[in-house]
Amino acid sequence: MVFTKKTDDTQNRVPPNQKVTTGFPVLHYGDVPTYADLSKWDFRIFGLVEKETTLTYEQLTSLPMTQVTNDIHCVTGWSKLDNLWEGVPVEEVVKLAGVKPEVKYVMLHAEQGWTANMPLEDFMRPGNLFAVKHNGEPLTPDHGYPLRFVVPHLYFWKSAKWVRGVEFLEKDKPGFWEKNGYHMYGDPWKEQRFAWD
């Protein structure tokens, strides 16, 4: 009998029933938005905040940027390791508006009314960012240009593409996929794929 020992840590980085892909699949509901220019684009920070704030693309991308590398896990079964993202850390955006003490959840709002919910703590996790680049290249329209959220510790559907705002809430509400049978939280390590998982 031959025993093989994996020499890298890949096996520990891939949640149950996920397969690693080296491609970058495209997954979303609806049409890819197109922009003639970004003059009408804005980003809203609203709900239970001290000061509702609206940023232009220029204001948003003038905030301090960072780079992070992480692994992403799509609920449909693919994982992609070692993604290098560049963008604005979540805390840089949030501190402009200030979160009220009663806030426990957020709702991300994207183009065409698409939404995704998560607990405040998960949204604010260090390493989360509003990304403008992936692996050194500007985001393509398919992958969320001009801005996408990246929250790698939850299934990738929570990482809103074409994100246009964040709303702070006291109570949890289902977002787009969550209304359509997906799990309210979506932990890939617990395989929280569907509402009943």
Interaction partner, residue 162 (ligand MTE, Mo ion, none; CB < 5-8 Å by kind): ligand MTE
Question: Which is nearest to 78 in space by CA: 22, 134, 142?
Answer: 22
Parallel, antiparallel, or unpaired for β 78-89 and 19-20? Answer: parallel
- H or E segment at 123? helix 120-123
- In the chain the first and final C-alpha atoms are separated, in Å, by 37
Q: What is the number of residues in the chain?
A: 197
Binding segment toward ligand MTE, per CB under 6 A, in 18-26, 56-64, 94-102, 123-131: 18-26
Instruction: Name the amino acid, one letter, at 32.
Output: V
From candidates 74, 81, 84, 120, binder to Mo ion by CB under 5 A: 74
169 contacts 47 by C-beta, under 8 angstroms: yes
Binding segment toward ligand MTE, per CB under 6 A, in 5-13, 34-42, 89-97, 159-167: 159-167
Question: Can you spell out the DSSP letters for 68-80?
Answer: EEEEEE-TTSEEE
What is the distance between the alpha carbons of residues 68 and 130, in angstroms, rounded to a whole number?
Answer: 11
Per-residue interface string for the shown chain with ligand MTE, residues 96-115, x marking contact by CB under 6 A: --------------x---x-
From candidates 10, 21, 29, 190, binder to ligand MTE by CB under 6 A: 29
Q: Residue 85, interface with Mo ion (CB under 5 A)?
A: no
Least Cβ distance, residue 17 to ligand MTE (angstroms)? 15
Interaction partner, residue 110 (ligand MTE, Mo ion, none; CB < 5-8 Å by kind): ligand MTE
From candidates 13, 15, 20, 28, binder to ligand MTE by CB under 6 A: 28
- Six token digits for residue 38: 């970004």
From candidates 10, 21, 25, 39, binder to ligand MTE by CB under 6 A: 25
Residues that bind Mo ion (CB under 5 A): 27, 74-75, 157
